[in-house]
């Protein structure tokens, strides 16, 4: 029997604090390589904070965190990261491919000098996210959906094994939301990348994701959407009665701040 591969992410007994505020307590879960997981919960539950923990930008108050088999560290090229907030004005004078190039050399001053291998890597990832046709367009001429493709390409160009996406769907309309989800799903399956995607609405993701990680009231629950997004589980997390209603293949959470 083949030996099971180690988890991509493993937290054991982790407590997260920001100053005097306890964000999560005794958090334990594992994500396997290649899993597509939606990270849900109300504002302030610690979704973005958890990503920063995995990136090595924060340390737990207690417990053990392993990412790709090692403690988190900053600058890990095996992790692709798309933050929630980006300085878009600084990109307006750049070409689309230059924005993607920051994923290879954004730690250097200025735009990286062109070379054959670098340009090949950019072309490959631009094609993967269906952005090659506007690769030389100015960033400020692109639609929201096109920009999000570039940011996804930027996170992918270093060929990471883990992809952390902080609300990549927040500013998109329904059509572009579906396009971006389809791209992320395709990349996750083709590359066998673990994807942890922060969102406030799980419904567009239900056909694609493997699991849901739900954070609320300092507690967490991980499992299949039908096992986690339930009245019983969310009521336990919130510490008060929460109703989950399913209608037209969508889940609606009633009685909780979402």
> Per mean pLDDT, which range of 45-59, 73-87, 191-205 is the poorest?
73-87
Q: Quick one: 129 and 225 in the same domain?
A: no
Length of the chain as a residue count: 258
**At 248, which CATH number?**
3.40.50.300
120 and 39 together in one domain: no
Coil, helix or strand at residue 240: coil
Report yes or no: 192 and 222 within 8 Å, Cβ to Cβ.
Answer: no
Shared domain for 155 and 165, answered yes or no, is no
Q: Residue 115 class from Cβ within 10 Å (0-12 exposed, 13-18 middle, 19+ buried)?
A: exposed
Q: Rounded to whole angstroms, how far apart are CA atoms 81 and 158?
A: 11
Q: How many domains does the chain have?
A: 2
* Residues 136, 216 within the same domain: no
Pairing state between β 9-18 and 219-223: unpaired
Claim to verify: residue 173 and residue 224 sit in the same structural domain:
yes
Check: CB of residue 188 under 8 Å from CB of residue 195: yes
pLDDT confidence bin for 106, thresholds 50/70/90: low
**Closest to 219 measured CA to CA, from 191, 203, 242:** 242
The residue behind tokens 């239900």 is: 206
Cα(27)–Cα(11) distance, rounded to whole angstroms? 7
Closest CA to 83 of 15, 167, 24: 167
* Boundaries of domain holding 196: 1-78+161-258
Residue 143 shares a structural domain with residue 165: no
Check residue 19 and give its pLDDT.
Answer: 87
Identify whether residues 59 and 180 lie together within a single domain: yes
User: What is the rounded average pLDDT for all residues in the chain?
Assistant: 88
Does residue 155 share a domain with residue 27?
no
Residues 190 and 252 in one domain: yes
Which of 143, 159, 175 corresponds to the end of one domain? 159
Residue 221 and residue 126 in one domain: no
Pairing type for strands 36-40 and 194-198 reads parallel
Question: Half-sphere exposure of residue 1, counting CA atoms within 13 Å on the CB side?
Answer: 3
Mean pLDDT value of segment 169-176:
88
Predicted confidence at residue 110, as pLDDT, reads 42
Beta bridge partners of 221: 214
Looking at the fold, whether 166 and 197 belong to one and the same domain comes out as yes
Confidence of residue 248 (pLDDT cuts 50, 70, 90): confident
Q: How far apart are CA 202 and CA 251, in angstroms?
A: 8
Query: To which H or E segment does residue 65 belong?
Result: strand 62-67
In tens, the pLDDT along 24-59 reads 999 999 999 999 999 999 988 999 999 999 999 999
- Same-domain pairing of 198 and 153: no
């Amino acid at each position: 029997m083949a030996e099971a591969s180690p988890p991509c992410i493993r937290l054991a007994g982790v407590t997260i604090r920001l100053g005097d505020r306890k964000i999560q307590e005794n958090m334990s879960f594992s994500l396997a390589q290649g899993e597509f997981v939606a990270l849900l919960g109300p504002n302030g539950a610690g979704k973005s904070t958890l990503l920063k923990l995995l990136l090595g930008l924060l340390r737990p108050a207690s417990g053990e965190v392993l990412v790709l088999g090692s403690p988190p560290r900053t600058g890990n090229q095996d992790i692709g990261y798309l933050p929630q907030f980006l300085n878009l004005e600084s990109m307006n004078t750049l070409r689309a491919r230059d924005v993607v190039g920051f994923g290879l050399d954004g730690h250097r001053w200025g735009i990286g000098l062109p070379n054959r291998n670098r340009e090949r890597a950019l072309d490959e990832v631009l094609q993967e996210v269906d952005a090659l046709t506007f690769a030389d367009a100015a960033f400020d001429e692109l639609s929201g959906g096109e920009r999000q493709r570039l940011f996804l390409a930027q996170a992918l160009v270093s060929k990471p094994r883990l992809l952390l996406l902080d609300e990549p769907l927040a500013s998109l309309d329904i059509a572009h939301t579906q396009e971006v989800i389809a791209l992320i799903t395709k990349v996750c399956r083709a590359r066998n990348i673990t994807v942890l995607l922060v969102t406030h609405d799980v419904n567009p993701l239900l056909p694609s994701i493997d699991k849901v990680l739900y954070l609320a009231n300092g507690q967490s629950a991980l499992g299949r959407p039908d096992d986690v997004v339930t009245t019983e589980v969310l009521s336990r997390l919130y510490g008060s009665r929460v109703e989950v209603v399913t209608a037209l293949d969508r889940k609606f959470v009633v009685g909780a701040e979402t």
